[in-house]
Structure 1
Amino acid sequence: MVDLPTHTIVFEILTRLPAKDVGRSKSVCKQWYALLSTQDFVRIHCSRSVVSSNQRVLLIDDLTCSVRPIISNNNDYGPSSIVTFPFHHQNNDVSILSHLNGLLCVCLNHTYELLLWNPTTTAFKRLSTPDSHGFYINNLDAIGLYVDADDDYKVLHIKRRSGVVGSFADPMSHSEEILD
């Protein structure tokens, strides 16, 4: 019997699994955890999830949030999976400001707090701090997500206050918790 190289298992087989199964696979061993946490793995996994059979739509209603598969032959949605908001929110009070590789930057409209949220795993990270850093003001601010030259996820928060524009690139330490 021939053993498959770990690289083949990780990059040819595991990149084709649903995100929840990839998260579970991280507990197999330390080596798999490290390989499944790399930016290369995330990029390949995301590119393979673009296949039409893997396409999903996130629907946010007044009281619920659901994920539904897209049925490509008739542009309809399949049965939904309910996703609960892991953070406190009020009815219809969450705005999606930006997205990248399945991550969402959302604003809780009643507090103006910014959060980075992975709806697949329900993990989230608060980007706002008690010293008013990271709070979002509608019609004055803009938010973007990007990957920098070191393959780290970043949040770009552009603020306009009294005619002055400032931009802040927030490093997302512990982003692996959001991606899992």
Structure 2
Amino acid sequence: MTCLLVAILEFHILVRLMAKDIGRCRTVCKKWYSFLSTPKFARLHWGATSSSAKKVVLATPENSDDIATIIYQLTSFYHVKVIDIPFNEHPFEFITLGSLDGMLCVCLKNNSRMSIWNPLTGCKRDLPTYNDNSFFKVYSDAFAFYLDSSNEYKCLHVKHMVRESVCIYSTISNTWREITVDKEVVFRNKNDKWSLGTLCLDGIYFTVGEFWSAFVELILRFDVNLETFTNVGLPSFPYEAGWHYASC
């Protein structure tokens, strides 16, 4: 009976957990750490979460003012419904700054205001104004949408050309707050252009390079729990001197 319960736990429960929860389970004991770190478990987890789950994507039909959801499973897909956009704008007139757990953080091009929107439920929240931090400047600001260790959704907004500031928006309190950062790391050059943030585990990564250049000069990491920036540099590859990373 004990062996049966262990098999059910390992092959029917653990394989269906989210990646973040699997990371936590690896700290339970050495046996779980060993099992959850094997290629075999990785294949089981991928199979359990990808074969049965339906993926949802958004599509904007050509010459249309609508956004449609498309559900696809394995190699088949089919159109589901047309979504009503909660903005008086064409889909091409807003920019997606980040996406997480089915929600989008978008910026309207005409007024630079930011909102969090769930296309499937239709819920929308306009981000409040705080020292110009509800306005996103496309060619100068950096942004990330993330989840911290307390499972709170937050937004990170970096302004580094006109007014140097780093602010965090809390979805619980619905407020912005400015944080103190190492200016030599974050604001090294007013001509820098940042990418939008990429969330990986407990860090958000930004590529940084000069505005008029297509090359990346460094990668900055923002710790979502400590709320600090560090320069993680660039990966080392055995290429000839003078080779640069192209920005993505």
Q: Report the TM range for the smaller structure's normalisation.
A: 0.5 to 0.7
Q: Is the 8 A contact 1:113 1:128 kept in 2?
A: no
Distance 2:60 2:128 in 1: 22
> Which residue of the partner structure matches residue 167 of structure 1?
166
84 and 161 in structure 1: CA distance in 2 versus 1, 3 angstrom threshold: same
Aligned pair in 2 of structure 1 residues 49, 131: CA closer, same or farther (>3 Å)?
A: farther
* Matched residue, 2:135: 135
> Displacement, 1:97?
1.0
Paired positions, count: 129
TM-score by length of 2: 0.45
The structure showing larger relative contact order (alpha-carbon pairs under 8 Å, at least 6 residues apart) is 1
| Identity over aligned pairs, percent | 24
**Offset of 1:165 from its aligned partner?**
3.7
Aligned to 2:210: none
Q: Give the distance between the partners of 2:51 and 2:159, measured in 1 at CA.
A: 37
State the alpha-carbon separation in 1 of the partners of residues 50 and 127 from structure 2. Answer: 28
Amino acid at match of 2:67: C
- Summarize the alignment of residues 16-31 of structure 1 with structure 2, pairs less than 5 Å apart: none
Q: Which runs of 5+ in 2 are unaligned?
A: 1-12, 14-20, 22-47, 175-248
Matched, 1:68 2:70: yes
| Two-structure CA RMSD over aligned residues (Å) | 3.0
Shift of 1:94: 1.4
**Structure 2 residue matching 1:161: 3-state secondary structure:** coil
Query: Between Structure 1 and Structure 2, which shows a larger proportion of helix residues?
Result: 1
| 1:64-94 deviation per Cα after TM superposition (whole angstroms, max 9, x unaligned) | 1110012422xx5312310011232246211
4+ residue runs of structure 1 moved beyond 4 angstroms?
A: 48-53
3-state secondary structure, aligned to 1:58? strand
Change in 2 beyond 3 A, CA 1:152/1:133: same
| Structure 1 residue 147: Cα displacement | 1.3
**1:65 counterpart letter in structure 2:** I
Q: Amino acid of the residue matched to residue 70 of structure 1?
A: Y
Give the TM-score taking structure 1 as reference length.
0.61
Confirm or deny: 8 A CA contact 1:154 1:170 kept in the other structure. Answer: yes
Contact 1:49 1:55 in 2 (8 A): no
Do the aligned partners of residues 91 and 147 (structure 1) sit closer, same or farther apart at CA in structure 2, a change above 3 Å counting?
A: closer
1:146 partner letter: Y
Q: 1:169–1:59: structure 2 CA closer, same or farther, 3 Å change rule?
A: same
Instruction: Give the corresponding residue for 1:81.
Output: 81
1:1-180 map, 5 Å: 53-61=53-61, 62-73=64-75, 77-90=77-90, 92-129=92-129, 132-162=132-162, 165-173=164-172
Structure 1 unmatched runs, 5+ = 1-11, 13-39, 41-47, 176-180
